[in-house]
Structure 1
Amino acid sequence: MNTGEILWESDIKQGETFFHEYIHSVEKSPVKEVFQYSSTGEVMTMESWTKSFGAGMPYQREGDVEMKDGYYVMKNLNRPVHGGALRMKPSSLYPHTFSFRDQTIYLSKEPFVTKIIEINVIDLPWWEGFIRSFKLK
């Protein structure tokens, strides 16, 4: 984020989802957060999967809540990501991954680890998207 360096990029269509999974630094429990690129062009938090509640974890009921595979799953959150971009700082102490389509990226390893990562969606003019589609293949 601070350098502006692009470590990974991909095209995304409205309605597609992506998620990241990590071990919470205080609770030491797994967390999965699912996001969607909405039809309005915003990145929305859609689901939050946690095994416990506590410091830095969800503390109030939002959306639809259910238990699944030992997780408290809050679905249909439909909450815009604050500031429009998802920010995180992966650590090498615990696994942290980012998944989109059939790709999983290990953020807890180089070149991502200890960097402040910003995940955002940039709406490109049609011609720039066309040019980038050839570069990404």
Structure 2
Amino acid sequence: MQDLSAFHHCASELLQHLGFAAPAPASGQEVISLTVEQRFNVHLGAIDHDNWFMLAELGECPPQSEETLQAQALRGNQLCGQAWQPVAALDAEHRLCCWLRLPCRGLDLPQLAAAFDALVARAEALLQTADAPR
């Protein structure tokens, strides 16, 4: 079993900052999930002892906005000068998601919060496109 202590520290610190009174993760717990504004799920998960991820699951693309939504998602994957740029992707079940890969060491709480805010902003922008009337 891999050492998850660095991931647990980052995730717990972020969750506390966000106002979640979550208990300490179990020693082998590799994923922590939460719901954001009852619109989508965010998963915080260990990749290895050096890296972890934030993943926002946005669900299936509505057929009426699929082309527009996928175009917006791809445009957002271009190189940019922002500190955090969530990557939009389709998961194994062809549902839209966006994610960030983060190091387990070297980030302070303001950086973790900024990464989370960037992920949520990208997810909300994609959902707004999906919900827009055609």
Output the TM-score relative to the length of structure 1. 0.32
Decide which structure has greater strand share: 1
Output the TM-score relative to the length of structure 2. 0.33
